[in-house]
Chain A
């Protein structure tokens, strides 16, 4: 067999691996599992602290231009006006058709309960724990949601990419895969690995699953950038039995030359959302909600190196056909000195967990006490902002 042989074709012809597929809990479940619910939820963790004020720029605020010299120039500097008050960073302009179609929205001035220490590590841990304190917490909020739903199987939820997604950690089963784990090895080596692992059912099943999850020859050797490969893989799963997918996009810690660094990160986010839309297809897209959230916002003022430092209030990005988009949600706090948090950061007026809770409620039908009691213990969800259609 040639080394570039399509792996799925190879396996379907291989009697050896055929046996192992039958023994695989992941795959056998998929073949007859009924989908527990129809909506698709994608949670993207934006690691590093996204500057919400630069992404969704309040150019209508009188203080804004002076606070943001050299950054966030509003419509005059190429940002796309959204509603007369807010404007979208130019690097996200490829998403404007989604905004006009009502498939893109934002929530501004939100944060986790994390305050004052402004550490990425604690901030991300708290964002993923979904609690108000890290003490004694061992699981993540998205996993706690899964524990409350019927019919959750190994492939209902996927953690994708390298690095643990702590929001999916916990007792509910979660599948994981990273496109860079694609088994791009010769078919002879794969066949022998299969032989060697055969005497160990657990390892053997995992290898068989890995082989199935590995992209076909073309995609594996393709030039697609890593974040697009992740989005493509997520979309492929969401077309099938998967209902929840989560992954990270890094690169938001823009202390220096934010004009360049933020554009690159936003391009990745924009590409990812478009790849998800194209990948799931029009029908699934209508049932899809994408939430992109970050551990904290950044300082309102530009620092001495053309960037911003760790702050508090920030923005979250919502996308998908299921989203009631075309608007910026949230309770705008203002940018006057007295309106800021600690006289330096955007004042958080909402909890970043509340919109996520309302979206989960609409997608899965979980009741409010499950959400503010178990998924996000102690959260005040407030009134329903109507984020989903």
Chain B
């Protein structure tokens, strides 16, 4: 139950690397998180503003098209270029996992992007997930939870995914002027309470959901300008959420943000977030003392995330022996890239179709289709969801076949056992690496070891 560099790299990092040393101390895990984001600079992913501008420009071209056929052709060109872009961004993300010296930032970005899951519901918006992550999640992972919550709740991707942009106050100016049956949509309000803040067992009622949904009316976005607060969509009057009154006439954005700030520091939110962090990083069934410890720090600091992570990492229960949680497929593949020290120029040189076959299609076979989360509650935390015959087979098939394409100069198997598994190498793995028929098989078997599949 004590810190070890190898366990730190697995549990709180992107895995071991032959090129980058694991963190020497618990403090080293957190160091740099609030400093410059070197990986964003080295392996850029478009931010959401640039993404929106690209779509707006393509739409403008389409509007000038003379006939339906040209319009469809323009649309097809846009769709194709966005698909190519989102696949490239995925490779950039893999490279960040491979080469980061602050790997906890990559883990936290993935954690919070999953906590605040979005999915584009059109072929164009489907490409917005990583720009959303880059703009709304990544800059806030070492800040305050309230700022993160506000950034995502007012983000076009979230407003699109959870139908907030379709929600109109029944008594709003917009609804009164029209008879097209548009009205309130509670989807975002419900998920903010159930998933993003208080948790499903939290102290809220259906009436709180309804009131929050009325308060949220007015939150929308436009393709050209991004997020917008439109008072003409807003339900008139004040709303009461968890016993406190917010807003009034005229409708303004500020009361919405006040509500989110209050939700962010609610004790139920503190416990929900603390537990989720412990489940994600440590174990499906975390020690209650660990959850209590993190919850207390959250409440003391009003949701200062650096302090919260510090509480998680300093607690002995966070270092319970041996790799525990199974890595989800994306993390499995990304940490394999790190173990292989995949050279950036190698991924850049991959022909797009090859890249898809190597690094995108296999994720779906392992049960985690890229950019298509199963619902607003994100990917499963329970190990059992990932350990199915189909998924385990897909991992094994990938491990045996993909590395030689990602790194044709495959590492020497016996040293690969040590650089990849470190202190967790076992005799069966050493035996397998030494007796495999080929170097590719040996590398694949090391990547199939339980000590690599778990963290």
Contacts and interface: CB of A to CB of B under 8 A. Distances in A.
Interface in B182-233: 186-187, 190-191, 194
Interface in B346-395: 364-365, 367, 369, 374-375, 377, 383-384, 387-394
A31 B186 CA distance: 47
Nearest to A3: B437
Interface string B431-455: 1100111000100110011100110
Interface string A164-188: 1010010000011110111111101
B65 interface: no
A148 to B, nearest CB: 22
A256 B190 CA distance: 39
B67 interface: yes
Interface residues on B, range: 35 or more
B66 interface: no
A193 B389 contact: no
B42 interface: no
Contacts, number: 130
Nearest to B361: A162
A119 B72 contact: no
A242 interface: no
Interface residues on A, range: 35 or more
B342 interface: no
B445 A196 contact: yes
A181 B445 contact: no
Given A134-B187, A305-B68, A196 B392 contact: no
B122 to A, nearest CB: 7
A181 B431 contact: no
Given A189-B445, A206-B389, A195 B428 contact: yes
B80 interface: no
Interface in A100-145: 117, 119, 121-122, 125, 134-138
Interface of B is mostly: helix
B374 A210 contact: no
Contacts of B387: 202-203, 206
B33 interface: no
B450 A181 contact: no
B178 interface: no
A303 interface: yes
Contacts of B251: none
Interface string B411-437: 000000000000000101101100111
A214 B397 CA distance: 12
Most chain B beta-carbon neighbours within 10 Å: one of A175, A210, A213, A304: A210
Contacts of A276: none
Given A162-B365, A189-B441, A210 B384 contact: no
B69 interface: yes
Contacts of A26: 389
A200 B426 CA distance: 12
A355 B121 CA distance: 28
B436 A189 contact: yes
Nearest to A137: B375
A380 B428 CA distance: 59
A26 B390 CA distance: 13
B374 A164 contact: yes
A192 B122 contact: no
Interface in A38-66: none
A197 B388 contact: no
Interface in B109-165: 119, 121-122
B257 interface: no
B253 interface: no
B311 interface: no
A183 B400 CA distance: 11
B58 interface: no
B445 A192 contact: yes
Contacts of A178: 365, 390, 394
Contacts of B436: 188-189, 192
Contact of A198 (B191, B383, B393, B428): B428
A138 B377 contact: yes
B450 A199 contact: yes
A32 B392 CA distance: 25
Contacts of A200: 450, 453-454
Given A200-B450, A207-B392, A119 B68 contact: no
B72 A192 contact: no
B397 A185 contact: yes
A209 B437 contact: no
B68 A138 contact: no
A255 interface: yes
A163 interface: yes
Contacts of B441: 186, 188-189, 192
Contacts of A185: 396-397, 400
A376 to B, nearest CB: 19
Contact of B445 (A137, A138, A193): A193
Given A181-B365, A203-B450, A305 B72 contact: yes
Contacts of A195: 428, 431-432
Nearest to B161: A121
A196 B450 CA distance: 8
A240 to B, nearest CB: 16
Contact of B432 (A186, A196, A207, A303): A196
B432 A192 contact: yes
A257 to B, nearest CB: 11
B234 to A, nearest CB: 21
Contact of A181 (B72, B121, B394): B394
Given A134-B187, A192-B435, A207 B396 contact: yes
Contacts of B444: 189
B381 to A, nearest CB: 14
B392 A122 contact: no
B235 to A, nearest CB: 18
Contact of A176 (B191, B369, B389, B429): B389
Contacts of A199: 426, 428, 450
Contacts of A176: 388-391
Contact of B400 (A137, A189, A197): A189
23 contacts: A121-B122, A135-B186, A135-B187, A136-B194, A164-B367, A177-B389, A181-B365, A181-B389, A183-B393, A185-B397, A193-B445, A196-B428, A196-B432, A199-B426, A199-B428, A202-B383, A206-B388, A207-B389, A207-B393, A210-B393, A210-B396, A255-B72, A305-B72
The 4 closest A-B pairs by CB, nearest first: A200-B450, A304-B68, A210-B393, A210-B389
Interface of B: 67-69, 72, 119, 121-122, 166, 186-187, 190-191, 194, 364-365, 367, 369, 374-375, 377, 383-384, 387-394, 396-397, 400, 426, 428-429, 431-432, 435-437, 441, 444-445, 448-450, 453-454
Given A200-B454, A304-B68, 8 more contacts: A119-B122, A121-B119, A138-B375, A138-B377, A176-B389, A181-B365, A189-B400, A192-B432
